[in-house]
């Protein structure tokens, strides 16, 4: 086939993949999807076989009437034309590049936009274009993103409705070209992606049960959430904030089930109103820490470092007030975590850590904790050279010195895994791929598999039945506790993995 198809996109790629995933985050393997048309015989579409070395487009007859490409595609892809076909680009003063073929001479679509103008059904794989917009720019120009169908002029309406909606309403009912998700996805490519999942939990928040019953946000005919449930496609609300409906934004500010960070949309999740920093205060009587804990309370990381305590120098600490934020002479959530919620995620250090990104997590701690002193502290040195127990180190992990008469002292200051990570930085764990850094997560509830997996009864688990660091690594020296541990501080995987 002589024509250059370098920039054309496989039709399966358009209608299959885009409707399922967000193309901004997919892998190369997912981009180059096999073309399902290759499973069909040539006779499905062609009356005559192709000749090697000859441009089949000019010579092979199609099975459709009058050799029409649009009529050929329509039986399988009915009502999937988000982009208009049978349109003469000359009527719109648009110049179509030579590598994008128009309808053949002598056919009903001669010189017009046809399905194969954009879709190459003979390609073995999709072209690798990660966004349709790159193909669209070939005809519509580099400034395409500046033009929006949400502006509400007459031409904009027809992009989604296919005709003037006012005339449609007079004739009976206003309709749209495609199902709403597919229509929006033609430009936005977000349906069924993490974009939707990040916010859908709002609608299952039991704390908003009464508010959700009174909700007037539009749903589909089958009472399901759609793009227009949250976004007003007619652009009358929040044009600078993705046309989000005010009612949705208001509900979002009342729920602690969605993440208000990385966006300037859900300010009222933390603040009592929107506005400049000078105009706003925090919820819970302007209590910043309580505003943070509204979402983070009970999360392991929130319990890792104390807050609300005096920020003062000692033999262990020297507070860096230039880099760390001290609130009324006390340690607060924002002492270590900045309030960069309006910045894009890629421009902010992990977990908003002030002064980050850091090579090691503990580098953040050394902004206030004296590194030389900190390194000398080892909570596992629980005995002196004479074998006497050193109770001073107990409170590094426990709320108090363990005492049989005060069992509450046995409680840990926080989640065990996070307590360990204070000193033990992330390292490749058994089962981790050294090249990618990805691997098996052992902090899970183990399951028993005959002849493969069996966790011994003396291996400690968390209250939730999950494995933890001390399941494999004893944290106490021999003789410190009454119950001696038989576990090994080694790579003895076969203790549990009996089948290897």
Q: What is the Cα 39 distance to its own chain's centre?
A: 34
Q: Give the closest residue to 414 by CA, choosing from 400, 391, 398.
A: 398
Give residue 477's pLDDT.
Answer: 80
So what's the pLDDT on residue 217? Answer: 93
Does residue 21 surpass a pLDDT of 70?
A: no
Q: Where are the domains of the chain?
A: 11-147, 150-258, 285-376
**How does residue 214 score in pLDDT terms, banded at 50, 70 and 90?**
very high
The answer, yes or no, to whether residue 15 has pLDDT greater than 60, is no
How many Å apart are CA 3 and CA 58, to the nearest integer?
A: 11
The pLDDT value recorded for residue 489 is: 47
The number of residues in the chain equals 500
Q: 133-178 pLDDT, tens per residue? A: 778 888 888 887 777 888 766 667 777 876 677 777 676 667 777 7
Dig out the tokens for 260 from the structure: 């208000």
| pLDDT greater than 90 at residue 27 | no
**Average pLDDT of the chain to the nearest whole number:** 77
Q: What is the pLDDT of residues 411-429, one digit of tens each?
A: 887 778 778 877 776 555 6
What pLDDT, on a 0 to 100 scale, did the predictor assign at position 7? 36
pLDDT tens-digit series, residues 325-369 = 898 899 998 898 887 665 655 556 777 888 888 887 778 889 999
Which residue do the tokens 């309006």 mark?
342
124-128, 138-142, 228-232, 388-392: least confidently modelled range? 124-128
pLDDT at 111: 92
Compute the average pLDDT of residues 296-308.
71
pLDDT number for residue 20: 34
Up-side HSE of residue 23: CA atoms within 13 Å toward CB?
23
Q: What is the pLDDT of residue 145?
A: 74
* pTM for this entry: 0.66
Which segment, 39-43, 154-158, 175-179, 260-264, is predicted with the most confidence on average?
39-43
pLDDT at residue 129, as a whole number: 46
């Amino acid at each position: 086939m002589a024509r250059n198809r370098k920039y054309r996109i496989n039709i399966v790629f358009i209608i299959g993949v885009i409707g399922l995933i967000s193309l901004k985050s997919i892998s190369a393997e997912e981009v180059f999807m096999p073309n399902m048309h290759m499973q069909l015989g040539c006779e499905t579409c062609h009356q005559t076989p192709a000749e090697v070395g000859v441009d089949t487009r000019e010579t092979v007859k199609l099975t459709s009437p009058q050799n029409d490409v649009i009529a050929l595609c329509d039986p399988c892809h009915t009502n999937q034309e988000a982009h208009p076909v049978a349109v003469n680009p000359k009527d719109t003063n648009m110049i179509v590049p030579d590598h994008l073929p128009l309808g053949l001479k002598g056919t009903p679509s001669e010189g017009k936009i046809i399905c194969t103008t954009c879709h190459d059904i003979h390609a073995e794989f999709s072209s690798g274009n990660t966004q349709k917009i790159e193909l669209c720019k070939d005809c519509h120009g580099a400034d395409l993103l500046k033009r929006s169908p949400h502006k509400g002029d007459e031409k904009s309406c027809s992009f989604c409705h296919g005709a003037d909606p006012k005339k449609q309403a007079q004739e009976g009912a206003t309709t749209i070209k495609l199902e709403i998700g597919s229509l929006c996805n033609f430009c936005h490519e977000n349906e069924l992606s993490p974009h939707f999942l990040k916010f859908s939990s709002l609608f299952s928040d039991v704390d908003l049960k009464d508010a959700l019953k009174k909700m007037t946000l539009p749903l589909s005919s089958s009472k399901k959430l759609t793009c227009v449930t949250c976004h007003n496609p007619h652009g009358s609300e929040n044009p600078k904030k993705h046309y989000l409906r005010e009612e949705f934004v208001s509900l979002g500010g009342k729920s602690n089930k969605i993440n208000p960070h990385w966006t300037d949309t859900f300010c009222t999740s933390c603040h009592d109103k929107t506005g400049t920093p000078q105009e706003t205060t925090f919820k819970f009587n302007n209590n910043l820490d309580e505003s943070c804990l509204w979402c983070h309370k009970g999360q392991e990381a929130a319990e890792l470092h104390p807050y609300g305590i005096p920020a003062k120098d000692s033999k262990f600490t020297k507070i860096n007030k230039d880099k760390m934020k001290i609130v009324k002479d006390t340690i607060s959530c924002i002492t270590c975590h900045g309030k960069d919620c309006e910045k894009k995620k890629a421009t902010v250090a992990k977990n908003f850590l002030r002064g980050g990104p850091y090579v090691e997590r503990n580098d953040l701690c050394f902004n206030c904790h004296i590194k030389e002193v900190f390194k000398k502290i080892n909570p596992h040195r629980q005995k002196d050279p004479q074998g006497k127990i050193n109770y001073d180190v107990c409170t590094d992990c426990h709320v108090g010195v363990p005492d049989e008469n005060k069992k509450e002292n046995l409680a840990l200051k926080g989640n065990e895994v996070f307590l360990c990570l204070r000193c033990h930085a992330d390292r490749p764990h058994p089962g981790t791929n050294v090249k990618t850094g990805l691997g098996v997560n052992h902090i899970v509830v183990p399951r028993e598999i005959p002849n493969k997996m069996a966790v011994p009864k003396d291996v400690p688990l968390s209250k939730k039945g999950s494995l933890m660091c001390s399941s494999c690594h004893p944290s106490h020296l021999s003789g410190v506790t009454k119950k001696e541990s038989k576990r090994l501080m080694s790579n003895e995987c076969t203790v549990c993995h009996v089948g290897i």
